[in-house]
Amino acid sequence: MRKFGLIGYPLGHSFSKKHFSDKFEKEGIKAEYELYPLEDIEEFPALVKNTKGLEGINVTIPYKESVMKFLDEIDEKASTIGAVNTIKIQNGKLKGYNTDYLGFKNSLVKFIGANPMPSNALILGTGGASKAVQTVLSDLDIQFKLISRNPQTDEFSYQHFSTSTPQHSNTLTPQHLNTYQLIINTTPLGMAPKIDELPDLPYQQLTTDHFLYDLVYNPLVTAFMQKGIEAKCWVKNGLEMLHKQAKASWEIWNR
């Protein structure tokens, strides 16, 4: 029996098992897809060694970067991004890929639709998913700024938006959300079961010209998206991105 699965922690929010299990049943594929919650990424080598028939792994929060040290090879695009969300296991060798890139890019272009592509974006979070988003925006010539709880040079803290005076020692000045037509949440804030959480932004500054994209897909309408709905923004969750990256993962595992 062919085996595939997802690593991350926690995994109670994930739709991946249902997505692939439904696919296997519908298409008559003899394979299994399991969830492998790892409290520590150091458990990964033992999982691979002890799981007979394992051919492919998806990677989610918080291991898209830390898993890379265990791989024998990394695809060029994934290396450029600096994060891996898909691993192919063949002849005992592990190769990492990033299908978040294609999933997000195709979904974003569809989301914007006939509207002009935004010229400026704000990316919430700096983890593995954020890195794929950053690469997509760069390739689409969209300028962006990162916002983080622990900002590095040229990154914003949430306080740059929620107060009139920056709370950190860097030289960045306070910002207004009007500067960024596209706002993308790459953090797990709002993900089930903590569905009431959301990034700390001045949502009263949102306008009907804003596009809010949340990579979280469970729940389907996040607290972040609800703020956009109330302001009559364009909003989208990460479910389509999940489906597109999963399709790309399956193609990688079967080529």
pLDDT of 169 strictly over 50: no
Q: Do 2-98 and 101-238 show the same overall fold? A: yes
Render pLDDT for 123-138 as a digit per residue (tens, 0 to 9). 999 999 999 999 999 9
Confirm whether 64 is a catalytic residue: yes
**What's the CATH code, domain 2-98?**
3.40.50.10860
Contact between 46 and 70 under an 8 Å Cβ cutoff? The reply is no
Render pLDDT for 53-76 as a digit per residue (tens, 0 to 9). 999 999 999 999 999 999 999 999
pLDDT, residue 65, reads 97
- pTM, full prediction: 0.91
Vertex 182 angle, CA 177 and 187, to 5°: 90
pLDDT, residue 153, reads 86
Q: Which residues of 204-239 are buried (b: 16+ CB within 10 A; e: fewer)?
A: eebeeebbbbbbbbbbeebbbbbbbeebebbbbbbb
Closest CA to 73 of 55, 54, 92: 92
Place of tokens 């049943």: 25
- Active-site hit among 18, 30, 49, 64: 64
| Domain boundaries defined on the chain | 2-98, 101-238
pLDDT of 164 strictly over 60: no
Domain 101-238 architecture: 3-Layer(aba) Sandwich (3.40)
Render pLDDT for 20-58 as a digit per residue (tens, 0 to 9). 999 999 999 999 999 999 999 999 999 999 999 999 999
Would you state the structure tokens that stand for residue 204, as one six-digit string?
Answer: 């009263």
Average pLDDT over residues 143-168: 81
Closest CA to 129 of 41, 199, 64: 64
pLDDT of 116 strictly over 90: yes
Average pLDDT, the chain: 94
* Percent of the chain surpassing pLDDT 70: 96
pLDDT, residue 142, reads 98
Average pLDDT over residues 207-217: 97
Would you state the structure tokens that stand for residue 93, as one six-digit string?
Answer: 């060798």
